[in-house]
Structure 1
Amino acid sequence: MEILHTAAALQAYTENCRRAGLRLGLVPTMGALHEGHLQLVRAAAQACDVVIVSIFVNPTQFNNADDFRLYPRLPQADADLLAPAGCTVLFLPSVEEMYPHAAVLRFDFGALERVMEGAHRPGHFNGVATVVSKLFHLSRPHQAYFGQKDWQQVAIVRQMVMDLGFDLELVSFPTVREADGLAMSSRNRRLPAEARAAAPRLYAALQLAAEQLTRGASAAAAQAAAAAYIGQEPAFSLEYLEIADAHTLQPIHVWVPGQAVVVCLAAQVGGVRLIDNIVLLPEQQAVGAA
Structure 2
Amino acid sequence: MQIIKEKAPLREVISKLKLEDSCIGFVPTMGALHNGHLSLVRQAATVCDVVIVSIFINPTQFDNATDLDNYPRTLDSDTQKLKELGLNLIIFTPTAAELYNDEIVSEHFQFDGLEFEMEGKYRNGHFDGVGTVVKELFEIVQPDKAFFGEKDYQQLQIIKKLVKHYHLPLEVIGCPISRENNGLARSSRNERLSPKTRLEASFIHETLLKAKEKFGTESANQISQWVENEFKSHPYFKLEYFEIADSETLKPITKNLGNQKFRAFIAVYSEKIRLIDNIALNY
Q: Same fold (TM over 0.5)?
A: yes
Instruction: Return the offset for 1:83.
Output: 2.1
In the aligned structure 2, how far is the partner of 1:35 from the partner of 1:221?
35
Of 272-281 and 151-160, the range deviating more from structure 2: 272-281
Instruction: Return the offset for 1:87.
Output: 4.8
Q: Which residue of 1 aligns with 2:247?
A: 246
Distance 1:222 1:33, change over 3 A: same
In the aligned structure 1, how far is the partner of 2:50 from the partner of 2:199?
39
Distance 1:254 1:208, change over 3 A: farther
Of 181-190 and 250-259, the range deviating more from structure 2: 250-259
Instruction: Return the offset for 1:23.
Output: 0.9
Q: Which residue of 2 aligns with 1:4?
A: 4
- Partner amino acid for 1:69? D
Deviation per residue, 1:95-122 (Å, 9 max, x gap): 1111222335311223211110011101
Instruction: Return the offset for 1:195.
Output: 1.9
CA contact (8 A) 1:53 1:87 kept: no
In the aligned structure 2, how far is the partner of 1:134 from the partner of 1:12?
17
- Partner amino acid for 1:251? P
Q: Which residue of 1 aligns with 2:110?
A: 108
CA contact (8 A) 1:41 1:87 kept: no
Equivalent of 2:193 in 191, 194, 197: 191
Alignment map for 1:116-131 (pairs within 5 Å): 116-131=118-133
CA contact (8 A) 1:60 1:124 kept: yes
In the aligned structure 2, how far is the partner of 1:57 from the partner of 1:229?
34
CA contact (8 A) 2:26 2:51 kept: yes
Q: Which residue of 2 aligns with 1:285?
A: none
In the aligned structure 2, how far is the partner of 1:22 from the partner of 1:104?
32
Of 147-156 and 254-263, the range deviating more from structure 2: 254-263
Q: How many residues align?
A: 281
- Partner amino acid for 1:153? Q
Deviation per residue, 1:27-64 (Å, 9 max, x gap): 00111111111111011111111110001110000011
Which of structure 1's runs of 4+ aligned residues deviate more than 6 A?
none
For the residue of structure 1 that corresponds to 2:256, the secondary structure is coil
Of 245-254 and 53-62, the range deviating more from structure 2: 245-254
CA contact (8 A) 2:60 2:104 kept: no
In the aligned structure 2, how far is the partner of 1:253 from the partner of 1:226?
18
Give the root-mean-square deviation of aligned CA atoms.
1.2
For the residue of structure 2 that corresponds to 1:110, the secondary structure is coil
CA contact (8 A) 2:148 2:174 kept: yes
Q: Which residue of 2 aligns with 1:29?
A: 29
CA contact (8 A) 1:213 1:255 kept: no
What's the TM-score, normalizing by structure 2?
A: 0.96
For the residue of structure 1 that corresponds to 2:130, the secondary structure is helix
Q: Which residue of 2 aligns with 1:139?
A: 141
- Partner amino acid for 1:109? F
For the residue of structure 1 that corresponds to 2:119, the secondary structure is helix
Q: Which residue of 2 aligns with 1:46?
A: 46
Structure 2 stretches of 5 or more lacking a match? none
- Partner amino acid for 2:188? S
Alignment map for 1:171-250 (pairs within 5 Å): 171-214=173-216, 216-250=217-251
In the aligned structure 1, how far is the partner of 2:226 from the partner of 2:104?
45
CA contact (8 A) 1:202 1:230 kept: no
In the aligned structure 2, how far is the partner of 1:276 from the partner of 1:104?
26
Alignment map for 1:140-179 (pairs within 5 Å): 140-179=142-181
CA contact (8 A) 2:240 2:269 kept: yes
Q: Which residue of 2 aligns with 1:287?
A: none
Q: Structure 1 vs Structure 2: percent identity of aligned residues?
A: 42
For the residue of structure 1 that corresponds to 2:223, the secondary structure is helix
Q: Which residue of 2 aligns with 1:286?
A: none
Of 253-262 and 152-161, the range deviating more from structure 2: 253-262
Instruction: Return the offset for 1:84.
Output: 3.1
Of 3-12 and 82-91, the range deviating more from structure 2: 82-91
Instruction: Return the offset for 1:254.
Output: 3.4
